[in-house]
Amino acid sequence: MQPTPDFDPAKLAKSLLRRSRQGALATLMVGSGDPYCSLVNLASHPDGSPILLISGLAVHTKNILADSRVSLMLDERAAGDPLEGARIMLSGRAEQAESDKDLLQWRYLNAHPSAEAFVSFKDFSFFRIRPTGTHLVAGFGRIVDLKPPQFLTDLAGAEDLLAAEEGAVAHMNADHRDTMGLYATKLLGAAAGDWRCTGCDPEGLDLQDGQTALRLDFPERVTDGTSLRKMLVRLAGEARTKVDQNVKN
């Protein structure tokens, strides 16, 4: 199905991956191979792939260590009939973090600050789901299968941005919290709240208030700290223009 002005499957799948904080994780039971489903908290890697922090004592972790094949169901938690909202079923393999553990921990704790209380427990480990595909259902006649290049963010050439991400996020939250609020309320139509930045990548900015997460897409790709700063200034200007227009009206 080709994108239309009111329906872009790849964009919607990317947004769900970035905004989801909980999901239903399906694994295969050790020994029998029977399906097993559990509720998990998650965050996202800069490329959009899901990050999990799970205990070695949990059944799903034991299943993953025996067979890494998993699927993850995410939905947009729409009001009313949940079946009227968009959802994705992502398939892939869950890999235990090794070289990128620090990045996964930083991103996960930004999304789930309360996990700080147990993140250092020896039985907890970070896993990253490496997707092989996803099935998007977004309403009648809007059912699409997507491949990873369609819903993951290409990080090639963005090494400078990734290196600057942690400092940039800390700076935005410490010195520009009001701007985060403007992005959320004026550019994304959200209610006022204690909005903060939880991450950025070449394609956009992630915002969160409590467990409510938003995705602010960039008009064009950014790959380094300088282009990120210029983009954020540009978007802040657009948000303030909307404020001025509202005042005049």
Domain presence at residue 3: no
The total domain count for the chain is 2
For residues 99 and 29, is the Cβ–Cβ distance under 8 A?
no
Per-residue pLDDT tens over the stretch 163-176: 999 999 999 999 99
The pair of structure tokens assigned to 17 is 């991956």
Tell whether 117 and 236 lie within a shared domain.
no
Per-residue pLDDT tens over the stretch 45-57: 999 999 999 999 9
Domain presence at residue 4: no
Tell whether 107 and 88 lie within a shared domain.
yes
Tell whether 34 and 147 lie within a shared domain.
yes
Boundary of a domain, candidates 99, 120, 151: 151
Tell whether 141 and 165 lie within a shared domain.
no
Domain presence at residue 86: yes
Tell whether 19 and 137 lie within a shared domain.
yes
Per-residue pLDDT tens over the stretch 231-240: 999 999 999 9
For residues 197 and 180, is the Cβ–Cβ distance under 8 A?
yes
Per-residue pLDDT tens over the stretch 38-90: 999 999 999 999 999 999 999 999 999 999 999 999 998 777 777 888 999 99
Long-range contacts of 176-185 (CB under 8 A, 24+ apart): 176/232, 176/236, 179/232, 179/236, 179/239, 180/207, 182/236, 182/239, 182/240, 182/243, 183/207, 183/216, 183/235, 183/236, 183/239, 184/209, 184/214
Q: Range of 207's domain?
A: 159-248
**Spatial distance between the Cα atoms of 188 and 165, rounded to a whole number of angstroms:** 22
Boundary of a domain, candidates 107, 131, 151: 151
Tell whether 114 and 200 lie within a shared domain.
no
Tell whether 37 and 96 lie within a shared domain.
yes
The pair of structure tokens assigned to 157 is 């050439």
Tell whether 174 and 144 lie within a shared domain.
no
Domain presence at residue 2: no
φ, ψ for residue 131, nearest 5 deg: -70, 145
Tell whether 182 and 207 lie within a shared domain.
yes
Those residues whose C-beta lies under 8 Å from the C-beta of residue 198, and which sit 6 or more positions away, are: 43, 107, 110, 111, 169, 206, 207, 208, 213
Residue 180: give its domain's CATH number. 3.20.180.10
Query: Looking at the predicted structure, is the pLDDT value of residue 1 above 80?
Result: no
Domain presence at residue 210: yes
For residues 70 and 26, is the Cβ–Cβ distance under 8 A?
yes
Boundary of a domain, candidates 111, 133, 151: 151
Residue 122: give its domain's CATH number. 2.30.110.10
pTM of the model: 0.92
Q: Which residues pair with 145 in a beta bridge?
A: 135
Domain presence at residue 1: no
